Chain A
Amino acid sequence: MSADVGAEAAWPPKSPQSGQGEPIVWYPCKYAPVELLAGFGAECRPVDFEADTFEDADRLAHPNLCGFGKSLIAFALKPEVRALVLTSCCDVMRRVYDVLSAEGCLDFLWIVDLPHLTGPRERLRMRRELERLAKGWRAYSGREFDVGRAIASFAPPLERQDERVTLLGAHGPASLYELTEAAISLPVENLTCTGGRRIAAPPVHLAQDARNKACPEHCETDLPESPEPLEAFIDWYADALLDQTPCMRMADIGGREGQVGAPGQRGVVYHTMKFCDYYGFEYLTTHGDAPVPMLKVETDGTRQSVGQLRTRLEAFDETLVGMNSARNVPKGDGPVYVMGVDSGSTSTDAVIVDGEGNVVASQILPTGAKATRSARMVMDMVMKKAGLAADDLTLTVATGYGRDSIPDADTQITEITCHARGARVLAPDVRTIIDIGGQDSKVIKLDEDGAVENFVMNDKCAAGTGRFLEMMANTMEMDLDRFCTEGLKWKHEVKISSMCTVFAESEVVSLVADDTPVPDIIHGLDRSVGIKVSSLSKRVKGEPPYLMTGGVAKNAGVVAAIEEVFEEPIQTSDESQLCGALGAALLGLESLG
């Protein structure tokens, strides 16, 4: 066992193997001293790898680390990755270093101990850290420092002023950036913790000093002796690194204040990552009085939530720039019929409205395993009910998770915007919509005109969704219809303290084993959904009147429990399951030229 393996653990690193050449130096953090390494001729690249599986990280560390840290472990284990420079920027990065150091899988592994403060003492410490790295890399590579190469590697620290949306917060994986770019109509800039690397341009005297040092006979003799180029560079560079816009792990984060509401910025997509502590807190303190609209998205650092993320991002774009795609469709001369189709995880719904916005026909079908087939079937059935053929439809608008799978749809609008529009018909005075479907739950706050003011959705976790209730009904071996009403007969309050589906199931099993009356258990579960939804509602500052939509609106026990928790009446409608499809049809109708 090692006596004290720390930052020097990789020391002495192995020299580049003969014939392999100098490796690319990978780095994840914006404080990584890449220009210093460039001065030694190293090619440095940021890590934007997204692992398909976290098997190695789970085996070597733990599943409950942030996705970026786990991807980094997977990346470093690739045989072609040979050099990695980390910083002690957070708990996970320090542990990534520990794990990789123990694995011994890299030729050159280094961690820069980054101070949390940026005063004179810390700058001195940073210089020492850079000197240590320079010494380490020189010994490893056998190369000497050339200040010209270092200076040439600097990218100009330009700040954008154009109209754009900023991706801010925790490390934004490449897929999130690409998704944001695709969903948002405006240009997107990446200022997440790994994306906003802006280091001041080096001063001219660094190059001059180096030249003077190199050729004293050609220079004026009365100049003071120039310092060693590496020493002079590090003296300046330590400050430049620490003077970047601070990330959230720095003690003084005053320099981040201008990040939201910067000139030209139209909106902010704020990314938080599960098990990354820092950025959730910045969102918490900034979104309340943000001068531009902010959308919070949380990921686990994988591509798995792409569908739900796209809905959120497109809905955000709709609030920023409107629904351009649905506009300018000619009305034509004949009667107008617009169909809205909502492809959800549990049901696929369709509504046809006429030119006056009156509902002509509607249909609900279980989605089943094939979203396209269900959509086709529901469209055929609703057209049959309305006595219309496909050619009679002026416009078909798709919404819901499966909106991409709806055949022959003319346009797509997210279910957020559609629900808001549909709700204005079902309950004209509504200010907050609580929509609980099979796969997700969301709360949509409307302004006085019924437009989306803010919205929030649950994350990947099933807690508080229809799926959660279905799983609990299965655990209690009860059919869903009975489950929906049995909770209303409760006598004693039972506390289901866990929000996690897995833990809640474990609690239910224990309660059943203790002979707790079934209605009391179900009421406890209903209340836990109410508490989860209340938490979402508070995040968007929800206010009455409330309307509940989605399949779970038919669960009388949950509706009653939400009323208990909110201490407010919750409106429901027999048509609430059609809210999204109705909204899609009406938005389509309103978009006709």
Chain B
Amino acid sequence: MNALDYCIPTRPDITHYWLIKAFQVKRAWTRAFPDKWMHPSALLAQNLALDTVTSALEDPENSVFTSIFMPNEIFHSLGLKPLIAEAVADFIAGAHAELGFTIYAEDQGVPQTYCSFHKVLLGATMAEVFGVSPLIANCSVACDANNITFRMLANRFGVEHVYIDVPGEYDEEGCFYVAEQLREMAEAAQDIYHRPLDEKVLKEKVARSQRTLDNLTRSLRLRVGRYIKNNMGLEMQHGLCFHTLLGEPECERLSRLMIRDYLNAEPFDGVNVVWSSTTPFFCIPLQRLLDVNTDQQLIASDMCFDQVSFTGWNHTADEPYLAMAERLIRDSYNGPGIRRVDRMAEICERAQADGAVCFCHWGCKETMGVSQLMVRELESAGYPTIVIDGDGCDRGNFPGGQAATRLGAFLEMLHAKKDARDAEAFEQELEEALEGVADEMGTGDVR
């Protein structure tokens, strides 16, 4: 427990003050003293992520409390700031302050086995360290915790709550069903915040969203053989940007910068790993293995690629509500687990990954339940996969030492496989070269 934790039950205002100060200082620091090793796109992602959460917390009256999977173009079109629940919890963990909120939430009766992102968030809001916005809006994607946390906070604080029910399977009827709900949510937001929605602006944002996601898709193949200088924190910040700010010009710029950066990136001859689910960015033993490492890198995660379409869009920005609905229903975190497995396989194939990690975040039954299916299917597609149990938000629940041993051994195995493949390729190349020489010289076998 630290000093801030002690203040949670009695002086939430003090905890609030220092947490906001910490976020503001971090934001100012990264702007003033950017890390020199980072790609420009990574610097932009870091600044955008820090700013989007901090500025929404600074201005709760003009924010909308929402979940990471909700389409945010409607809120941005109204000049509102989406305050992403999972991001608030992540920032609290980044400030090493999650333990006090976890204990506070459990003291209030929140189940110990609840997702720790939601537990930390509930601790922070139930203790009134952070308030909520005039509107709480969430959807059924991706998990049960969404159905509980937001409803509970809306009841507790007596604010408006909009819930978007998303069917598991995509069909046009389902798409209209979700689009209608999104349209009603837009109407509710206009009423609550007393400002009109310009549908032309909304269409522009939705068009930008699709372009951004298409750029992101393009970036996958560009990562092959390149050192993308990634780390687990950056991966989460990218994921945050591509959800919270999707449709915004800075977000599209980020996707374009990524393409440029990867085109110009140094060559990389190490092992590439694709990650499924959140990354435990605070876990030092795992960071030592994967963060900005020239031998092995985290090349992509499905938290950044859940919304993209590898097959194009049925609805364009001319039908903005349908386009957002389509994206939401087709999200790889929605619907059957095999959809998520297939998405991982596609990412692995496009990024030419050497292996995959399925990270089972504490309380995330969606990921846990599909983990063995993911192992089975990805391995049959040629991508060795490891399941690692841990916690993406509560460091007290994830010491990481044992997980690092397992991941370390897995990476060693991937290196060995890669070396074997490279040696085989070299032999093949040599064979072909020698055959070529023999043909040229007409001397038969020269080996």
Contact = CB atoms under 8 A, between A and B. Distances in A.
A116 B113 contact: no
Nearest to A8: B169
Contact of B99 (A101, A128, A275, A497): A497
A112 to B, nearest CB: 10
A399 B302 CA distance: 55
Interface in A63-99: 64-66, 69, 88, 90-92, 94-99
Interface stretch (A16-24, A319-327, A334-342, A530-538): A530-538
Contacts of A96: 369
Contacts of A284: 108-110
Interface stretch (A37-45, A211-219, A499-507): A499-507
B173 interface: yes
Contacts of A88: 168
B375 to A, nearest CB: 11
B372 A61 contact: yes
Interface of A: 1-9, 59-62, 64-66, 69, 88, 90-92, 94-99, 101-102, 113, 115-117, 121-122, 125, 128, 248-249, 251, 253, 272, 274-275, 277-278, 280-281, 283-285, 287, 495, 497-500, 503, 506-507, 510, 531, 534-535, 538-539
B408 interface: no
B373 A102 contact: yes
A283 B114 CA distance: 14
Interface stretch (B83-91, B229-237, B254-262, B396-404): B396-404
In the complex, the 4 A-B pairs of residues with the closest C-beta atoms, listed nearest first: A95-B369, A497-B396, A62-B368, A284-B109
A7 B109 contact: no
A280 B365 contact: no
Where chain B touches its partner, the secondary structure class is helix
Interface in B137-170: 140, 143-145, 147-148, 151-152, 155, 163, 165, 167-169
B201 interface: no
A459 B362 CA distance: 18
Contacts of A531: 1, 103
25 contacts: A1-B381, A6-B335, A7-B168, A8-B169, A61-B369, A61-B370, A62-B368, A64-B360, A64-B363, A91-B143, A91-B365, A94-B366, A95-B369, A95-B370, A101-B336, A102-B376, A125-B173, A251-B147, A253-B151, A277-B363, A283-B109, A284-B109, A503-B397, A503-B399, A510-B399
Contacts of A249: 144, 147
Contact of A497 (B151, B362, B395): B395
Given A285-B152, A497-B395, A531-B103, 13 more contacts: A61-B370, A62-B387, A64-B389, A69-B369, A94-B336, A102-B376, A113-B167, A117-B165, A277-B148, A498-B397, A506-B402, A535-B106, A538-B107
Contacts of A128: 173
Nearest to A505: B399
B169 A113 contact: yes
Contacts of B365: 62, 64-66, 90-92, 95, 275
Nearest to B139: A116
A110 to B, nearest CB: 13
Contacts of A125: 167, 173-174, 177
Given A121-B180, A125-B167, A503-B397, A95 B113 contact: no
Nearest to B99: A497
A121 B177 contact: yes
Q: Counting chain A CB atoms within 10 Å of each CB, which of B99, B173, B337 scores highest?
A: B337
B328 to A, nearest CB: 14
A277 B369 contact: no
Nearest to A59: B372
Given A62-B360, A284-B108, A98 B180 contact: no
A278 B151 contact: no
Nearest to B2: A495
A355 B439 CA distance: 113
A274 B402 contact: no
- Which bucket holds chain B's interface residue count? 35 or more
Interface stretch (B26-34, B65-73, B339-347): B339-347
A278 B165 contact: no
Contact of B109 (A101, A280, A495, A506): A280
B399 A498 contact: yes
Contacts of B109: 280-281, 283-284, 287, 539
A285 B153 CA distance: 12
A497 B99 CA distance: 7
B339 A122 contact: no
A104 to B, nearest CB: 13
A307 to B, nearest CB: 21
Contact of A281 (B152, B377, B397): B152
Interface in B112-142: 112-115, 140
A248 B337 CA distance: 23
Contacts of A3: 342
B111 interface: yes
Nearest to A527: B1
B380 interface: yes
B301 to A, nearest CB: 19
B378 to A, nearest CB: 9
B371 interface: yes
A284 B152 CA distance: 10
A64 B103 CA distance: 21
A6 B335 CA distance: 7
A200 to B, nearest CB: 23
Given A116-B140, A275-B113, A275-B365, A6 B152 contact: no
Contacts of B107: 534-535, 538-539
B366 to A, nearest CB: 5
Interface in B1-57: 1
B338 interface: yes
Contacts of A280: 109-111, 114
Given A62-B369, A95-B369, A117-B165, A278 B144 contact: yes
A461 to B, nearest CB: 8
Interface in B377-392: 377, 380-381, 387, 389
A521 to B, nearest CB: 15
Given A251-B165, A277-B114, A503-B397, A9 B338 contact: yes
B397 A91 contact: no
B165 A122 contact: yes
A98 B338 contact: yes
Given A498-B399, A503-B397, A99 B373 contact: yes
B108 A6 contact: no
Contacts of A277: 111, 113-115, 144-145, 148, 363
B373 A98 contact: yes
A507 B177 contact: no
Nearest to B142: A91
Contacts of B111: 272, 274, 277, 280-281
A507 B399 CA distance: 7
A1 B337 contact: no
B4 to A, nearest CB: 13
B374 to A, nearest CB: 10
Nearest to B377: A1
A239 B163 CA distance: 20
Contacts of B143: 91
Contact of B369 (A94, A248, A274, A534): A94
A278 B99 contact: no
Nearest to B166: A116
Given A1-B377, A91-B365, A102-B373, A506 B336 contact: no
A95 B401 contact: no
Contacts of A65: 365, 368-369
Contacts of B341: 1
B159 to A, nearest CB: 15
A5 B402 CA distance: 35
A115 B335 contact: no
Contact of A6 (B155, B339, B345): B339
